């Protein structure tokens, strides 16, 4: 989302897909067909923790992306001066909001966090023979409750989600979102050297 990139939109070639796997499928392939082809596709944004002890603001760099029954390898990243964890990132077509479901996904897949885009990005990159890296900053912990939301399938659903999300999340989660976005911008700045 634009709010996740902040001022970095000026300094990098970027594609803002919005929320969910359907938004990625609608936007990313056309962007990747533009010349020149990227040497690496970086999927970056906020995520939800799937394991105990992973807190708001922690950086996760994917080693693998688990999406449905597929697992994609991810390219490594380094952040000068910033601590981060590495591990599997799980991609879901909907918000995973319940503690028990989060812990079950972690147990089954070994994933540290969950998002709604990286799996589709990885799948598209595999189809186009492009390497992909995933950078996620934890927003919500395993104990935070979020509204149940499916990946919006079109522009109208995405606009409705943006409007409802502003009303339906608690002030605590809203502040966690702001904090996670600040860390994400710092991590991207460190990664890109800007």
Query: What is the chain's mean pLDDT, rounded?
Result: 86
Whether the Cβ atoms of residue 19 and residue 158 lie closer than 8 Å to each other: yes
Angle between helices 118-127 and 21-33 (to 10 degrees): 30
63 Cβ contact partners less than 8 Å away, ≥ 6 residues apart: 73, 74, 76, 86, 87, 88
What tokens were used for 120?
């589709």
Tell me which of 188 and 160 has the higher pLDDT.
188
What tokens were used for 179?
């904090």
8 burial level (CB within 10 Å; 0-12, 13-18, 19+): middle
DSSP 8-state code for residue 125 = H
Phi, psi for residue 14 in degrees, rounded to 5: -140, 160
- Is pLDDT above 80 for 155? no
Q: Tell me the mean pLDDT in the region 163-187.
A: 80
In whole angstroms, give the CA distance from residue 157 to residue 167: 16
Confidence at 169, pLDDT banded by 50, 70, 90: low
Tell me which of 173 and 111 has the higher pLDDT.
111
In whole angstroms, give the CA distance from residue 170 to residue 178: 13
pLDDT digits (tens, 9 = 90+) for 7-57: 555 556 888 888 889 889 999 999 999 878 889 999 999 999 999 999 999
Which pLDDT belongs to residue 162? 56
In whole angstroms, give the CA distance from residue 123 to residue 63: 15
CA 84: distance to chain centroid? 15
Give the three-class secondary structure for 5: helix
- Is pLDDT above 90 for 164? no
Confidence at 1, pLDDT banded by 50, 70, 90: very low
- Is pLDDT above 90 for 190? no
Which pLDDT belongs to residue 104? 97
77-86, 166-175, 180-189: the lowest-pLDDT one: 166-175
pLDDT digits (tens, 9 = 90+) for 54-100: 999 999 999 999 999 999 999 999 877 889 999 999 999 998 989 99
In whole angstroms, give the CA distance from residue 132 to residue 122: 6
Phi, psi for residue 93 in degrees, rounded to 5: -80, 5
Does the pTM of the predicted model rise above 0.75?
yes
In whole angstroms, give the CA distance from residue 169 to residue 112: 23
In whole angstroms, give the CA distance from residue 138 to residue 49: 6
């Amino acid at each position: 989302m634009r709010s996740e990139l902040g001022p970095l939109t000026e300094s990098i070639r970027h594609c803002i897909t919005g929320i969910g796997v359907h938004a990625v499928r609608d936007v990313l392939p056309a962007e990747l067909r533009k010349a020149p082809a990227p040497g690496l596709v970086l999927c970056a944004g906020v995520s939800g923790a799937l394991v105990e002890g992973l807190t708001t603001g922690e950086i996760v760099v994917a080693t693998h992306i688990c999406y449905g029954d597929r697992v994609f390898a991810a390219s490594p990243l380094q952040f000068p001066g910033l601590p981060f964890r590495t591990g599997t990132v799980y991609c879901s077509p909907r918000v995973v909001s319940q503690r028990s479901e989060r812990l079950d996904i972690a147990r089954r897949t070994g994933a540290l966090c969950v998002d709604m885009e990286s799996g589709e990005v990885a799948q598209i990159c595999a189809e186009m023979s492009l390497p992909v890296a995933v950078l996620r900053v934890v927003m919500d912990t395993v104990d935070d409750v979020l509204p149940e939301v499916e990946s919006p399938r079109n522009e109208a659903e995405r606009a409705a989600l943006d409007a409802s999300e502003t009303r339906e999340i608690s002030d605590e989660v809203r502040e966690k979102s702001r904090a996670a976005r600040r860390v994400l911008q710092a991590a991207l700045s460190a990664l890109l050297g800007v």
